[in-house]
Amino acid sequence: MRKIINSPERVVEEMMEGYISAYGRYYKKHPKVNGVILKDHRKDKVALVIGGGSGHEPMFSGFVGKGLADAAACGNIFASPDPNTVYETAKAVSQGKGVIFVYGCYAGDNLNFDMGEEFLNDEGIQTTHVRVWDDVASAPKDRIEDRRGIAGDVFVIKTAGAACDAGLSLEEVTRITEKARDNTRTVGVATAPAQLPGIDKPIFELPEGEIEYGMGLHGERGVLRTTWQDADVLVEKMYGQIMEDADLKAGDEVCVLINGLGSATITELAIAFRKVKQLLTRDGIKVHDTDLNSYCTSQEMGGFSITLFKLDEELKKYYDMPCYCPFYAKGELTEAIITDNGESSEKMDDEPEFDETDTEAAQIVRSKEGVLTELNAADARNMLLYIADKIIAKKPYLTEIDSAIGDGDHGIGMAGGMQKAKRKLLSMEAEENAYAVFEAAGNAMLLSMGGASGVIFGSLYLAGAKGMEPKAVITAEDIAGMQRKSLLAIQERGKAQTGDKTMVDALLPAVEAMERTCGEGLLKMLFAAEEAAEQGVEATKKYQAKFGRAKSLMERAIGYQDAGATSVWLIIQGMREFVEDKLN
């Protein structure tokens, strides 16, 4: 087999040079050893260092990035990095908060990383490590520490990077990373051998018409050599072995990785996932997220692996945090869409944008008569239900406004989003965290509305509540703070400023009014915000549009109010009406 190389002795050196050159905006190479270091890596936190042999690209160097590893110590092809490489790479990114190492459980890696840790400990740098042992085919469960680390590295590294970025202590990062490792199971098969650069023969022989079941990443012998089988037969056997080993049952939630070993195509990986999904559905197990890609490879080895990563709420939180490197990314929008507190996005996709038969107003219950001075979770839920019905009733009005200078879909989009939010809220009678009510409603809107409005108006509820410590009761100050967070998130995503003829023209002055008056009580704050939002809507009539379909109209958009700003005003008006006990 001919490989695109120069000298076999310089493969890793030249690969590293090309890799750093290609992605120099993100990475730099350690000046002394083969360590890939993230430029501007995060400060004042636990450092995550990963590593292992080269030849498995993009693992490990390709998983250095924001929300992932701070550095990777890279060895020669299929060989562990030496202790000095481990030591120098980790020392370069240590921030005084400790270093956690994540790597596959192989004898060479274990010995070399242990020695590198000793060097760091001698200098007073605290370290810990998590060895990934997800390969269920490589040892029985009672010898789990003898198992190999294969494609499960992806989920463990993702979780560890998020935990580090969350500012947790070394002890807590280690606990969460071990939990991720212990909830990850993988099995793989090889359909064709790999060949190392500069070696004349493949690393193992595989006769035509046979497959190696339970194959390791370095050509290690599998547990069984068998005849060629159709994809569904093979996948069912692999899935069955994972299920025998994993603590998975109906009602559980998993992430799935179908990982190509080097030469498998996306077509093949998708066919494999098709069967995995059927089996998971049969067993009542929900899929939270799926990846079909070649992340953990063995040169051009044929075949694939299946990895199931069992989630709980804690692991889901860290999995859904955004991250980025050139080969792997999880974004904030993805996070919002796929964490709808158990609501199935597939189900929502099958529903109409707006169901004309589902317009009956919800029964609104307030915690007391008269003016409310604060909102408990039940009040927050009922307030958002009231706003949802208000927006649904205003669908023709919003459609008319949007039709003047847009495409007329704002009314149906807002009504459809509020309809989905309403359905979610109706299922949350027992919720005791007021912030969770806003977050759930925002997620439901994101899932259903589509277009820019889904992101923006979903964020109006979601962004301000997300990540807040649970609270049974929220005050005027809490609401003002929440809306400021939402405003900042919306502006970050959409880049709009006042004067651009968008919802920001109503939201920004409303938030500023909330901040000025929140100390004077909830109702007075909402009156001030409503007035400011209404003035913002009126001001949009003077502006040309900088975003959306109306921007092409230029000066012809002047004289018409913005539909998004109008929706903001109506939402704040609904908040005020609920708090004042003047439901309309």
Distance, CA of 72 to CA of 543 (rounded, Å): 51
* Residue listed under structure tokens 């964020």: 459
Quick one: CA dihedral 430, 433, 439, 442, positive or negative?
A: positive
Which residues have CB under 8 Å from 319's CB, separation 6+?
155, 158, 159, 162, 255, 288, 289, 309, 311, 330
β-bridge pairing 127-132 and 99-104 = parallel
E strand intervals along 353-480: 375-376, 473-474
Within 10 A of 342 (CB to CB), how many other CB atoms are there?
A: 11
Dump strand ranges (E) for 89-183: 99-104, 127-132
Burial (Cβ within 10 Å: 0-12, 13-18, ≥19) of residue 548: buried
Among the listed residues 146, 49, 22, 61, the one whose alpha carbon sits nearest the alpha carbon of residue 328: 61
The DSSP result for 336-360, as a single string, is HHH-STT--HHHHHHS-SS-TT--P
Question: Is 218 among the residues known to form the active site?
Answer: yes
Instruction: Name the DSSP letter for residue 41.
Output: P
Residue type at 583 in one-letter notation: L
Distances (CA, A) of 413 to 134, 326, 421, 559: 44, 34, 12, 23
List phi, psi (to 5°) of 547: -135, 165
Helix, strand, coil share of the chain (percent; to 5): 50, 15, 35
Residue 94 makes CB contacts below 8 A (sequence gap 6+) with 47, 120, 125
Concatenated DSSP letters for 193-234? ----TT-SS-SS---TTEEEET--TTS---SEEEE---HHHH
Is 323 within 8 Å of 67 (Cβ atoms)?
yes
Whole-angstrom Cα distance, residue 423 to residue 440?
10
Q: Indicate which residue of 41, 56, 218, 288 is catalytic.
A: 218
The C-alpha atoms of residue 20 and residue 30 are separated, in whole angstroms, by 10
Q: Residue 359's closest CA among 415, 424, 399, 438?
A: 415
Residue with tokens 């260092």: 49
Residues belonging to the chain? 584
Active-site positions read 218
